[in-house]
A and B are shown apart, each in its own frame.
Chain A
Amino acid sequence: MLEIFVLVEHRQGQIRDLTYEMLGLGEKLANQQGTSFAAILLGHDVKSFAEDLATRAPKVLVVEDENLKNFNSILYQQTLSSLISKYQPCLLLMGHSALGMDLAPSLSVEMEFPLATDCIGLSFEGARLKATRSIYGGKVNASVSLRESKGYIATIRPGVFSPKMVGEKKGGIVMESSPLQGMVDVKKFIEYIEAPITGEDITQAEILISVGQGIGGPEHIPLFEELAKNLGGTISCSRPVVDRNWLPKERQVGISGKTVKPKVYLAIGISGAFQHVTAMQGSDTIIAINKDPRAPIFGVAHYGIVDDFQNVIPVLKEKTKSWK
């Protein structure tokens, strides 16, 4: 049986957590299939990464090339297709992330490997890959069969699988020569952009009053600001609120925003998409207010109120006036 490849995700000098989750899944699938798994590390000056990965994977394949310093889908694709042709893995795992989403679909077309994206479950039935995906905004799970193929690609949802811990045996590090012949001019990385925080830092708040699309419009923001003042808390939000410019980006809790762990997280009108939940489920106490009793947020909250926020928040605001 052929190997399972796990594409290591790293950025700005750090291996991203999702890598360890994929190694955990890779090991589990490899055990089921009676095969082995390998971490695939592409980058420049990544020796220390290779050492770390060797404590968690039986094999680390490394391609060192200065052109792989920052992610570029074209260069990654060229490198991976050459490694795939050489080793013929039965499955390549990568993150359902900014990296994997930019790379997996085009590589899948080039290799003619069927692709399952954003997987929350994966298994083999014989040599055929089956995936579980969460669809319709998390309301339904779908079991998907992929067509028969000698190889598959799957992108993995962050925060779903248990990370691979450091093992006792150290894996081997195999240096592969780079198939790249310089940069490409059709797609060039220029720089990272990080917006400075101009207001309150939501990652430092002990109480977050977090609002979602369900609050209906920006005209309600002052109500939540007053409530935040009463509770000694800070306002944060989910993605649609930022998309609509009701609050600035620095207030966003989510995979593409900030990860928070306050003592109390009050989620109001937030449905609970996984991108949001992943970044707040470490909060000590989560309280959700939503009028949809089936909203996924109630699956992560400790306490819930099924009602329109307009029936609850004004009363809460009055009752907590004296707390200031």
Chain B
Amino acid sequence: MNIAVCVKRIPKTAEADIFIEKDGKDIKKDNLVFALNDWDGYAVREAVLLKEKYEGEVIVLTIGPEESKEVLTRCLAMGADRAVRIEAPSSSDGHLIAKILAQATKGQSFDLILTGVQAEDDGWGQVGVALAQLLGLPHASIVTHIEVENGKAKVRRELEGGIEELLEVKLPAVLTIQTGINEPKYVSLSAILDAEDKETKEVGLEEIGFTSKAPLDATIDQVSFPPTGKMAEILKGTPEEVVGQLTEIIKKKKG
């Protein structure tokens, strides 16, 4: 079973101080740590687990500048066999990303193409399902479990309210992977060193035959901090003082 996994390098913003660029169109990223998109990490791990079960090859693809190579190395250390970086400026237009990925994967004999459900940074949640449509393949999104038998994947999709649905999807197919689908594996230093020896191909858009100059579907005009509505009353003081106030509140409110 040959599996392609599409991954993205994203800035980690959860506990970082955020500043807005002068042109107002994005946040400043030079002070941020970058990593493999969380959802994509689960997708790569799932591909490697499927490979261990059904044999085959796992190829990871990313679109981005030189720096994106570091996430490919991480994917190779997680057990992917080879990697492709498509040289292109980062874009937040999901349709464009899907079109480039379709061009890069079409005509190749993948049984499965996996993406994360969405990216941690701009969260469009669009690429995997759009890619399936462009390739003329069936898809399932928000997948939490995969079993392959007789050219079909039995997959579970996560719905709302703790409910899942079981589906059958004919292969080849595109699946978008939800976090928690598997248990991430610790990536050792030696695995990272070994990954350096695996093949990483770097290609330009012309090389893969991507020539579309269609206008972008979506462009960001401006980013801004969300309006601060009511904020919590912050309890201040030493931990003892804070806890003193806290216990009074809990006592009163728990009834």
Contact = CB atoms under 8 A, between A and B. Distances in A.
A115 B240 CA distance: 51
Interface in B107-146: 117, 120-130, 132-134, 138-142
Interface in A289-316: 291-292, 294, 298-307, 311-312, 315-316
- Chain A CB count within 10 A is highest, among B224, B225, B250, for B250
Count class of interface residues, chain A: 35 or more
Given A185-B170, A294-B18, A108 B234 contact: no
A33 B72 CA distance: 47
A181 interface: no
A145 B219 contact: yes
B243 interface: yes
Contacts of B166: 189-193
A312 to B, nearest CB: 6
A192 B94 contact: no
- Chain B CB count within 10 A is highest, among A97, A240, A256, for A256
Contacts of B142: 98, 101-102
Interface stretch (B54-62, B74-82, B157-165, B198-206): B157-165
A22 interface: no
A294 B160 CA distance: 28
B217 A146 contact: yes
Contacts of B117: 101
Contacts, number: 266
Nearest to A140: B223
A227 B163 CA distance: 30
A319 B243 contact: yes
Contact of B249 (A240, A258, A287): A287
A305 B234 contact: yes
A175 B121 CA distance: 42
A185 B151 CA distance: 12
B71 to A, nearest CB: 18
A230 B166 CA distance: 41
Given A105-B130, A106-B139, A303-B249, A140 B226 contact: yes
B232 interface: yes
Interface residues of B, number: 84
A142 B223 contact: yes
A116 B159 contact: no
B187 interface: no
A140 B224 contact: yes
Nearest to B228: A299
A121 to B, nearest CB: 11
B138 A186 contact: yes
Contact of B253 (A145, A249, A284, A312): A284
Contacts of A311: 239
Interface string B1-42: 000000000010111011010000001000000000000000
Contacts of A245: 183
B232 A141 contact: no
B121 A139 contact: no
Nearest to A138: B226
A145 B218 contact: yes
Contacts of B243: 312, 315-316, 319
14 contacts: A16-B160, A102-B129, A109-B98, A140-B225, A142-B223, A192-B164, A194-B163, A231-B250, A255-B161, A256-B159, A264-B253, A298-B232, A303-B234, A319-B244
